[in-house]
Amino acid sequence: MRKSRFSEAQIMGVPSGRQVLYTRDTMGRITAVQSRKVSTGPWSNIASSILYQPMSRLVQSFTAGNGLSNWNTYTSDFELDLSGVYDAMSSPS
């Protein structure tokens, strides 16, 4: 695994030869995940547009590689309250 500073991309190799690319924000939180089968292959999105609750590491929303958007809400005790999934043709409810 290549070490990097916060807000830099980090690539991790796994025994099968697959590579996983993590992109982080300035606080070190992952904002996107991509993967490819071999080092010369194209990258595929696993998750992108990962947003966090203010001042925390709790995921507020993200877009999965299949295009579905996921959202979460939390209680004042930081417990998961609601979670939902929607596509481009619908809106979160």
- pLDDT tens readout for residues 59-89: 999 999 999 999 999 999 999 999 999 887 7
Bridge partners for 82 per DSSP: 73
**How far is 10 from 65, CA to CA, in rounded Å?**
19
Rg (CA), the chain: 15
User: What mean pLDDT is reported for the chain?
Assistant: 87
Global pTM? 0.79
Sketch the domain layout of the chain as residue ranges. Answer: 10-86
pLDDT at position 56 over 90 = no
Quick one: pLDDT at residue 67? 92
Q: Which residues contact 77 (CB under 8 A, 6 or more apart)?
A: none
DSSP letters, 54-92, are TTSS-EEEEEETTS-EEEEEE-TTS-EEEEEEE-TTS--
Quick one: pLDDT at residue 1? 47
